[in-house]
């Protein structure tokens, strides 16, 4: 994994032309695609929904655990948003369905001093996001994409969607939500990626000396 992070830093980017009518929706250095590239670390996990759980812990009054069915019983919402991957692809008008993070929050007993969240996911993956970002109305715990249940490779049974940040923040296969007083970096953030990850600011890496290959995503499997 560390070698992959190092390799992604080495190649100078090539900027692709974006049609003028959608240019305002596409961050710098991105290529628009109708494909849905499949990028992740490790093997695709398999789950039994009878035993799958989402654990909530850290700066909360009491730890809690949600089953998949309990999450389905909460209000469900659909969003349609553009998504942007740090590997330089953007996919426009993607439709997701799930539970708004903001709707889940009142059930969790989060302490006032909690300002940051670490999202824990299989396989041994984590990523950090400010709590205030997760409270935006289009941030959801998604279990459906384009009207169908998520596929295994895209995060079944549930993934986080944070559309205003690079897509590595939208962790697949989420299993835990940890509330924190202080920020700390997740997996890619520990390996040289930007701590916040705003696509329109091209916050790809923690150092401006690093670059991203323009064709990394083309080498990946896709739907």
> Distance between CA atoms of 173 and 176, rounded to whole angstroms?
10
**Averaged pLDDT for residues 30-58:** 91
pTM, entire model: 0.88
Which CATH architecture is the domain 2-219 placed in?
Answer: Alpha-Beta Complex (3.90)
**Averaged pLDDT for residues 133-158:** 97
Lowest-pLDDT range of 30-34, 71-75, 153-157:
30-34
Mean pLDDT across the chain: 90
Helix (H, G, I), strand (E, B) or coil at 177: strand
**Averaged pLDDT for residues 1-8:** 50
Spatial CA neighbour of 120 closest among 68, 57, 37? 57
Q: How many CB atoms lie within 10 A of CB 210?
A: 16
For residue 57, what pLDDT is reported? 98
Chain length of the chain: 223
For residue 217, what pLDDT is reported? 64
pLDDT of 94-119, one tens digit each? 999 999 999 999 999 999 999 999 99
Domain definitions of the chain by residue range: 2-219
């Amino acid at each position: 994994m560390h070698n992959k992070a190092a390799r992604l830093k080495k190649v100078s980017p090539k900027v692709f032309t974006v049609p003028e009518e959608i240019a305002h929706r596409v961050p710098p250095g991105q290529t628009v695609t109708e494909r849905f590239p499949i990028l992740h670390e490790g093997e695709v996990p398999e789950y039994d929904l009878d035993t799958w759980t989402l654990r909530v812990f850290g700066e909360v009054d009491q730890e809690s655990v949600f089953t998949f069915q309990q999450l389905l019983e909460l209000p469900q919402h659909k969003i349609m948003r553009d998504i942007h991957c740090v590997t330089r692809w953007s996919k426009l008008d993607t439709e997701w369905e799930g539970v708004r993070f903001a709707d889940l929050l009142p059930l969790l007993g989060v302490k006032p001093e909690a300002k940051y969240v670490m999202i824990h996911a299989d396989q041994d993956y984590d990523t950090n996001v400010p709590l205030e970002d997760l409270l935006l109305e289009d941030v959801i715990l998604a279990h459906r994409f384009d009207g169908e249940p998520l596929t295994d490779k895209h995060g079944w049974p549930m993934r986080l969607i944070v559309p205003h940040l690079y897509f590595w923040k939208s962790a697949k296969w989420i299993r835990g939500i940890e509330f924190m007083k202080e920020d700390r970096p997740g997996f890619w953030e520990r390996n040289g990626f930007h701590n916040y990850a705003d696509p329109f600011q091209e916050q790809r890496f923690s150092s401006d000396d690093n670059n991203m290959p323009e064709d990394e995503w083309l080498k990946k499997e896709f739907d």
